Amino acid sequence: MNAAGSSEGALRTAAPSPFAYFASATLKAFNTNKTSWIGLVVFLIVVVAAILAPVLAPFDPNDQNILEKLRAPTLEHWLGTDSFGRDTLSRLVFGARISLIIGVVSTLAAMVIGTAIGMLAGWHGGRLDTVTMQAMDVLLAFPSLILGLILVAMLGPSMVNIIIAIALTSIPPFARIARAPTIAVKEREFVDAGRALGYSDTRLLVVHILPNILPEILVMGSLWLANAIRTEASLAFVGLGVKPPTATWGGMIREGFENILDSYWLALVPGVAILFVIFALNLLGDGLRDAIDPKLKGET
């Protein structure tokens, strides 16, 4: 960067590259609220544990051992065993993969589709805007968990269908959050300038408007990722998760709940794990939201 006072170096200091700008802005946002760091670190630990599941898990998550069933935590099985004698710790780290994959993919899908809808509605305005946003409001008003339950029950409980159902129920908030800033940015001079230069709508939207609303959308993404993970667990808890014997956190709670009277930890351990991840993501998203828009402080 500091290329010994060369004119090029000075120029770059004056106008940093978009990437450097983005990185320093992100760092600043994180430092405004130290809790964001805690959230990020906890979440990353879970991500690493999920990736390294085959290495970290002491046992095969689906290995049954009827002789060792419903064991309380021991040195061999740190978190005990379930009613099939499967190791709870191993199922926990493998279950993290399902939660994260479904959560991340469905949230990304909702983010892309919702942002596109919101930007187009805000950009074109008029009747298209009214109709789209009213449709989004209707969708937003309907209890998303119930919509998700019904969609998965109708489509069948497979990983892809669960992702589709969760993504569909999370589109409206992204559409809403993308629309308002699009309307605000659309009136700014640089957009007029772009239009005068003959740029296409697509180029204006993607290259010139999207970067302006991206931070807010990413922050919303972390909060909705928490929500998606919670929805996935809820679906699995009522028996609409990825099919057994695949380990999922919601499914583990469902199975543990059947033995709650004598082996309470079977339901408690995955329950606390879910709570932990969602809390971490909420800490992350909430702190960052604070930083990028002090007016939004504490809003849910």
- Of 88, 90, 132, 144, the one binding another protein (CB under 8 A) is 144
How far, in Å, CA of 59 to CA of 229, rounded? 25
- The CA-atom distances, in angstroms, between 209 and each of 116, 178, 187 are 12, 10, 11
* Binding of residue 268 to another protein (CB under 8 A): yes
* Binding of residue 142 to another protein (CB under 8 A): yes
The backbone torsions φ and ψ at residue 259, rounded to the nearest 5 degrees and listed phi first, read: -115, 30
| Residue 32 Cβ vs another protein, minimum distance, rounded to whole Å | 13
* Binding of residue 233 to another protein (CB under 8 A): yes
How far, in Å, CA of 279 to CA of 36, rounded? 11
Q: Which of 186, 163, 158 is nearest to 244 (CA)?
A: 158
Residues 6+ apart with CB under 8 A from 158: 242, 243
Pick between residue 33 and residue 208 the one whose CB is nearest to another protein: 33
* Binding of residue 159 to another protein (CB under 8 A): no
The token pair at 190 is: 């640089």
Q: Which of 218, 202, 210 is nearest to 185 (CA)?
A: 210
* Binding of residue 125 to another protein (CB under 8 A): no
* Binding of residue 196 to another protein (CB under 8 A): no
Site for another protein in 21-60 (CB under 8 A): 35
Interface residues with another protein (CB under 8 A) are 35, 134-135, 137-138, 140-146, 149-151, 153-156, 226, 230, 233-234, 237-240, 253, 257, 260-261, 264, 267-268, 271-272, 274-275, 278-279, 282-283, 286, 295-300
